[in-house]
Homo-oligomer: A and B are copies of this chain.
Amino acid sequence: MTSRKEVAELAGVSEATVSRVLNNVGPLKEETKLRVLAAATKLGYTPSSIARSFALRRSGNLGVVMPYLPKARLFSAYYFSEILSGIGSKAREEGYDLLMLFRDANEPMDYCGLFRMRKVDACIVLGAKEEPGELAALRLLKEEGHAFCLINQHFEGESFHEVDADHVEGSWQAVTHLLEQGCTRIAFLNGPEAYSNSRDRMRGYTRALTEAGIALDPTLQFEGNFSRRSGVAVAKEMVTRLEQIDAIVAANDRMAIGLQQGLRELGVTAERMPAIVGYDDSDAAELTTPALSSVRVPFYRLGELAAAKVLEMPDGGPEASVQKVRIKLPTELIIRASSQIKKSRRN
């Protein structure tokens, strides 16, 4: 077996230098580094798997940053579980393990530290919000030229790599479907504005109503936090105005289902229930009663694509050399019973 001494001799450096190069410790001239790596490779010197992985600057991990909410069952949310399945499938194919990193709601992460400590070779950020701290952390990642990508979030005026779905279109499809059935007073239960996908949905809602010559009514706009519970809570606000509402579009299925449940618990009968369209087309949409119309989003594919893209990016290379990833996949409205207007109610 080759010894460290032989590598040092071939490279013309000290044994300590060989160790430092292979372990990536301390400042070293690029030329020295290359000389040692060339010698080590030539002699087939593998001091240990870990040293080799450092020499190659690879951890073999693909990082996935997820928001962390105590008590919330993040992996159980359709949105996250589908995206993660897509990421995991591609990572596995490429020989990578997934490192799940939980971000506290109110504390920006030291993304760059993950790369500096070589915990990850590339990183995908889920659930990023438009906030100064988050934005600064992402800008730093970009400045240092790390391989990273956002899913389902874009920042106006920034040029991060982004893999997203077309939520303007998705929301437009949902509202247009309701308009075509004669609904005119369409309430909107959106998610928090800090997410670009909420703002995109608002754009689609506005566009569809404007095209139909219907003025926006701020009293028909509600906000939840994507949880079923927040849908139940909004039902209480909505029930007092139910005479003015003939349909509802919700920004995800969980809120739509919570809304249906909440309205039912408040005594709203099936006959008086407004038409409802959810968003995500989760498993639950098909299983709930009445089955929920919903906008299908290719989450699994978003995850797969993001993983494929970040794993082929060089890490730490000059930022300009990497082609910008800007993917926007189409969405599709799936019509089920919940949005079918009953004749009896309209006449």
Contact = CB atoms under 8 A, between A and B. Distances in A.
Interface of A: 4, 14-16, 19-20, 22-26, 47-51, 53, 59-61, 68, 70-76, 78, 80-82, 84-85, 88-89, 91-92, 97-102, 113, 116-119, 283-284, 287-289, 300
Contact of A85 (B14, B75, B88, B287): B75
Contact of A19 (B25, B84, B88, B287): B25
A100 B73 contact: no
A73 B300 contact: yes
A97 B101 CA distance: 5
B88 A82 contact: no
Contacts of A24: 50
A283 B282 CA distance: 12
Main DSSP-derived SS at the A contact region: helix
B70 A76 contact: no
A113 B49 CA distance: 9
A55 B168 CA distance: 51
Given A113-B49, A287-B287, A97 B119 contact: yes
24 contacts: A16-B16, A16-B19, A19-B20, A23-B23, A24-B50, A25-B51, A49-B113, A49-B117, A61-B99, A61-B119, A71-B89, A73-B81, A74-B85, A74-B88, A75-B82, A76-B78, A76-B82, A81-B81, A91-B102, A97-B101, A97-B119, A98-B99, A99-B100, A100-B100
Contacts of A89: 70-71
Given A99-B99, A101-B97, A85 B92 contact: no
A75 B80 contact: yes
Contacts of A15: 16
Given A75-B80, A81-B81, A97 B97 contact: no
Nearest to A100: B98
Contact of A119 (B60, B74, B81, B92): B60
Nearest to A76: B81
Contacts of A100: 88, 97-100
Contacts of A300: 73
A14 B20 CA distance: 14
B26 A47 contact: yes
Nearest to A91: B102
Nearest to A71: B89
A53 B23 CA distance: 13
A72 B81 CA distance: 12
Contacts of A80: 75
Nearest to A98: B100
A57 B80 CA distance: 32
A331 B78 CA distance: 25
Going nearest first, the 5 A-B pairs with the smallest beta carbon separation are: A287-B287, A16-B16, A73-B85, A75-B81, A98-B100
Contact of A99 (B14, B81, B97): B97
A117 B48 CA distance: 8
A176 B80 CA distance: 38
B102 A92 contact: yes
A121 to B, nearest CB: 13
